[in-house]
């Protein structure tokens, strides 16, 4: 035992000494590699390297800011605003700037926004809401020169506009390829928030392809960023770390009227396309299909025998639209246009809008579980955009099925109200029911159940009673002049 302990002790001592020697050599070499200090022997090269990286990063931001700022202008818009009574504030006005609502006589209104010089001969891209209805536009350059501007064209659906000033050899900001911008990349926002000229803020790309941020009939594919954007930044530049224009700052999501970490910019690729069309034609013409469409939810998709929610559901065909004379039918699910898959309502609307009116296209639909291909010629989207997006977040019920609604036959009075067509009218929606959860309303007209027309309460109950608890069911609803589909699941008794 003793001998073994001595051997172990020698071995341990040898290992300890060897470790100390090797450790000393390592420490010595490590010290020799990093303790090469400056004259004051206060900073190691490791720290210096970190500082150099940070300094280079900082210099990148400063260089980009110096390069971009001359191409971003301050736009002052003057127009008369009639305020004879208390009014609601336009969401854009919160972003663009303006006085408080109140009982006032018509008064001059002055708003401040931003714009980006995109050509040496004076074309400037900005937001529609910055210059719309302006009686006078003034542009101030980075060198403090001022001049009046004229409106070249407006596109409210993308909230973009082009204006022009009569200066030559202007500093131009080059368009980048916004499709290549990645979530997580650093970006800079340059504009004139609160009239503070040429303010630069930094952040990252938080998300891409954001839609349904502004109005239902707008065409949105926003870049979302956490770079600080405030009122007055509208129309300013969002740039990458190479100084390329990646977006036109347009809106913020806020509960205070100021920056809360979520801003949106129109992608540069969309802005460049709209600018070209406005400069060439003074307006933007868009393809028009002439249908009302809705996203599919899981219940509606299941009720139609579909495996996924991809596509856009035709909920109504608009009178006098291109689709009225085609083979398209209500409850067709559009899954592809010219061979390219359709993801959802927003995807379809943008796809159709980007096709020139008069173009013949092929639309692939799923009808009662089978694929159908239909060819038709697109019209031109009229003002008012009758290609509405119908809501799919509401349901219908009958007393015998525990859906939580009472229904009645269409009386002469209701028939006049709805003008034409048969169905049953919802007279009551019970609190706590699935109908209430789906926001059904008294006065909604149920026209069809799972694609089958109903003309009386008796027919309605006969159809609905065939469904078992847990099964998906869909209703075609008319509310006012709008028709849409609602999906729900029959509740347990």
Which residues belong to the active site? 129, 159, 234
> What residue ranges in 69-122 does DSSP mark as E strands?
72-81, 107-117
Q: Are 128 and 154 in contact (CB under 8 A)?
A: yes
C-alpha–C-alpha distance, residues 222 and 218, integer Å:
11
SS3 assignment, position 388: coil
Which position has the token pair 């959860």?
A: 437
Q: Are 84 and 105 in contact (CB under 8 A)?
A: yes
Q: How far is CA 367 from CA 252, 299, 301, 375, 446, in A?
A: 40, 17, 12, 15, 21
Q: Which of 284, 252, 345 is nearest to 160 (CA)?
A: 284
Q: Are 161 and 274 in contact (CB under 8 A)?
A: no
**E strand or H helix at 124:** strand 123-126
C-alpha–C-alpha distance, residues 247 and 245, integer Å:
6
C-alpha–C-alpha distance, residues 409 and 403, integer Å:
18
Give the sign of the dihedral formed by CA 474, CA 476, CA 480, CA 481. positive
Which position has the token pair 């868009």?
A: 286
C-alpha–C-alpha distance, residues 160 and 248, integer Å:
9
Q: Which of 395, 364, 373 is nearest to 472 (CA)?
A: 395
Q: Are 312 and 352 in contact (CB under 8 A)?
A: no
CB atoms within 10 A of CB 149: 23
Q: Which of 78, 262, 268, 259 is nearest to 158 (CA)?
A: 268
Q: Are 490 and 470 in contact (CB under 8 A)?
A: yes
Which position has the token pair 């009758």?
A: 386
Q: Are 490 and 450 in contact (CB under 8 A)?
A: no
**E strand or H helix at 180:** none
What values do phi and psi take at 159, rounded to 5? 55, 40
């Amino acid at each position: 035992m003793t001998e073994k302990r001595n051997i172990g002790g020698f071995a341990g001592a040898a290992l300890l000494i060897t470790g100390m020697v090797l450790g000393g050599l390592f420490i010595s070499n490590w010290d020799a590699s990093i303790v090469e200090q400056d004259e004051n022997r206060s900073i190691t090269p490791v720290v210096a390297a970190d500082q150099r990286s940070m300094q280079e990063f900082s210099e990148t931001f400063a260089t980009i800011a110096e390069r971009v700022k001359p191409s971003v202008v301050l736009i002052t818009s003057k127009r008369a605003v009639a305020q004879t009574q208390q009014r609601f504030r336009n969401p854009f006005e919160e972003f663009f700037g303006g006085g408080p609502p109140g009982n006032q006589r018509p008064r001059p209104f002055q708003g401040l926004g931003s714009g980006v010089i995109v050509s040496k001969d004076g074309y400037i891209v900005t937001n529609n809401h910055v210059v719309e209805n302006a009686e006078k536009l003034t542009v101030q350059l980075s060198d403090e020169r001022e001049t009046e501007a004229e409106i070249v064209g407006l596109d409210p659906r993308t909230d973009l506009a082009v204006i022009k000033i009569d200066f030559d050899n202007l500093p131009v900001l080059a368009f980048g390829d916004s499709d290549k911008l990645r979530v997580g990349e650093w970006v800079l926002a340059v504009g004139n928030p609160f009239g503070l000229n040429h303010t630069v803020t930094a952040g990252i790309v938080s998300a891409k392809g954001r839609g349904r941020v502004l109005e239902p009939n707008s065409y949105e594919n926003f870049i979302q960023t956490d770079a600080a954007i405030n009122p007055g930044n509208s129309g300013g530049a969002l740039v990458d770390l190479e100084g390329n224009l990646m977006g036109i700052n347009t809106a913020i999501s806020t509960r205070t009227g100021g920056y809360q970490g979520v801003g949106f910019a129109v992608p540069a690729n969309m802005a460049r396309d709209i600018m070209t069309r406005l400069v060439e034609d003074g307006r933007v013409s868009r393809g028009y299909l002439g249908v009302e469409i809705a996203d599919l939810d899981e219940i509606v998709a299941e009720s139609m025998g579909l495996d996924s929610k991809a596509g856009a559901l035709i909920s109504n065909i608009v009178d006098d639209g291109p689709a009225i004379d085609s083979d398209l039918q209500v409850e067709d699910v559009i899954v592809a246009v010219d061979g390219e898959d359709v993801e959802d309502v927003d995807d379809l609307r943008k796809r159709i809008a980007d096709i020139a009116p008069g173009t013949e296209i092929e639309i692939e639909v799923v009808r009662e579980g089978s694929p159908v291909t239909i060819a038709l010629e697109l019209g031109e989207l009229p003002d008012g955009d009758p290609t509405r997006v119908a809501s799919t977040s509401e349901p219908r019920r009958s007393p015998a099925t525990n859906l939580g609604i009472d229904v009645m036959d269409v009386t002469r009075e209701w028939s006049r109200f709805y003008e034409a067509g048969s169905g049953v009218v919802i007279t009551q929606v019970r609190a706590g029911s699935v109908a209430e959860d789906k926001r059904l309303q008294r006065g909604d007209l149920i026209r069809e159940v799972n694609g089958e027309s109903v003309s009386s309460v008796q027919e309605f109950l006969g159809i609905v009673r065939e469904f078992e608890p847990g099964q998906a069911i869909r209703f075609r609803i008319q509310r006012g002049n709008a028709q849409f589909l609602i999906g729900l699941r029959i509740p347990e008794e």
